[in-house]
């Protein structure tokens, strides 16, 4: 089944304790992206990657890191989490970032993170 898999789905952690949210897709997609979703703010892009070893900042990159060493994986790293990073996180992928066509984003199931 074609899918985007995120782990963990739920996590409660404490301020300053480094954590990684993994994301893996099995569709050979070139483009991958991380979003956070907060009440009243909608989906906001954190980082995106157009291909292996190519990453770029989205609208809210502060406090996050990413890497894209393999095409299928795009982990999100919080080096020193803070309470304002408590949110619902979604990883998404698409075939490419082509400027034409219904290049649809496929989303993972989400990771609900709470930082105390």
Partner 1 sequence: GQNIDQPTEMTATEGAIVQINCTYQTSGFNGLFWYQQHAGEAPTFLSYNVLDGLEEKGRFSSFLSRSKGYSYLLLKELQMKDSASYLCAVRERGGSQGNLIFGKGTKLSVKP
Residues that bind partner 1 (CB under 8 A): 31, 33, 35, 40-45, 48, 58, 88, 90, 97-100, 102-110
CA dihedral 6, 63, 58, 30 (to 10 degrees): -40
Distances in whole angstroms, Cα of residue 84 to Cα of each of 36, 51, 114, 115, 116? 11, 29, 9, 8, 9
Please say which residue, 62 or 99, places its beta carbon nearer to partner 1: 99
Please say which residue, 38 or 79, places its beta carbon nearer to partner 1: 38
Q: How far is the CB of 87 from partner 1 (least distance, A)?
A: 13
Query: Cβ neighbours of residue 97 under 8 Å, at least 6 residues apart?
Result: 30, 31, 50, 103
Distance of CA 92 to the CA centre of its chain: 7
Please say which residue, 14 or 109, places its beta carbon nearer to partner 1: 109
Q: How far is the CB of 107 from partner 1 (least distance, A)?
A: 4
Please say which residue, 44 or 65, places its beta carbon nearer to partner 1: 44
Beta bridge partners of 28: none
Q: How far is the CB of 3 from partner 1 (least distance, A)?
A: 10
């Amino acid at each position: 089944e074609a899918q985007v898999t995120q782990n963990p789905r739920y996590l409660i952690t404490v301020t300053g304790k480094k954590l990684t949210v993994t994301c893996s897709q099995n569709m050979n997609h070139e483009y991958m992206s991380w979003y956070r979703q907060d009440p009243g703010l909608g989906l906001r892009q954190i980082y995106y990657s157009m291909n292996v070893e190519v990453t770029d900042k989205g609208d809210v990159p502060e406090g996050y890191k990413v890497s894209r060493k393999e095409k299928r994986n795009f982990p999100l790293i919080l080096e020193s989490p803070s309470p304002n990073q408590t949110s619902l996180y979604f990883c998404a992928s698409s075939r490419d970032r082509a400027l034409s066509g219904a290049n649809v984003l496929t989303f993972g199931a989400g990771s609900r993170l709470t930082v105390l």
